[in-house]
């Protein structure tokens, strides 16, 4: 996965997070958006991986994209399998964390020019279980992830008409 884009955009980060879900062989549906955008219709395939954008922090050299990540699967309400399903879904969630931390899919192991790591996350994650949070019988885990990328806060490259001064 050659990637020479040094300064990542919101779109780059979302597409990268979606790619992690799309390429994970156990995840059947990957979605993005607010919590109420999670598609829980009868036609949805599970396990489901949902990326909920929360906020972006901007500093002189970094942008930090903050997300809530939901990983869930359907539970048969008559079959007392919730613990089994939660265990499987927790493994999928930790797989996503492992990929963000050191996965070769993000070039973390290839340090040649233009393939350096461009996405950075913290070392520690807290995963919170949920049951019956949504309208149908799903159980899973939710965790926060802050994806840091390099950024330049540089006013020289802004497409703006400089023929006038905005001080009034």
Residue at 81 is within a domain:
yes
Residue 161 falls within a domain, yes or no? Answer: no
**Residue 145, domain member (yes or no):** yes
Sheet holding 138-150, edge to edge: 29-32, 48-58, 62-74, 138-150, 127-131
Q: Is residue 159 part of a domain?
A: no
Could you report the per-residue pLDDT of 77-99, keeping only the tens digit for each? 777 888 999 999 999 999 999 99
CA-CA distance, 142 to 35, in Å (whole number)? 11
164, part of any domain: no
Domain count of the chain?
A: 1
Domain that holds residue 107: 10-153
What is the CATH classification number for the domain harbouring 130?
3.30.2000
Of the ranges 53-57, 61-65, 92-96, 130-134, which one carries the lowest mean pLDDT score? 130-134
Q: What is the pTM of this model?
A: 0.86
pLDDT of residue 1: 40
Residue 100 lies in a domain: yes
Residue 162 lies in a domain: no
């Amino acid at each position: 996965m050659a990637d020479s884009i040094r300064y990542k955009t919101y779109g780059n980060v979302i597409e990268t997070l979606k790619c992690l879900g799309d390429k994970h062989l156990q995840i059947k549906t990957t979605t993005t958006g607010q919590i109420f955008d999670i598609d829980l219709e009868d036609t949805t395939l599970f396990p489901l991986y949902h990326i909920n954008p929360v906020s972006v922090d901007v500093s002189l050299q970094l942008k930090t994209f903050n997300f809530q990540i939901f990983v869930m699967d359907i539970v048969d309400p008559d079959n007392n399998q919730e613990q089994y399903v939660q265990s499987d879904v927790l493994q999928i969630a930790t797989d996503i964390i492992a990929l963000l931390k050191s996965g070769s899919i993000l070039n973390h192991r290839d340090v040649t020019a233009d393939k350096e790591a461009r996405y950075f996350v913290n070392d520690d994650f807290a995963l919170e279980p949920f049951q019956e949070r949504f309208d149908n019988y799903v159980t899973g885990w939710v965790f926060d992830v802050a994806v840091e990328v390099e950024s330049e806060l540089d006013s020289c490259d802004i497409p703006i008409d400089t023929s006038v001064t905005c001080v009034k």
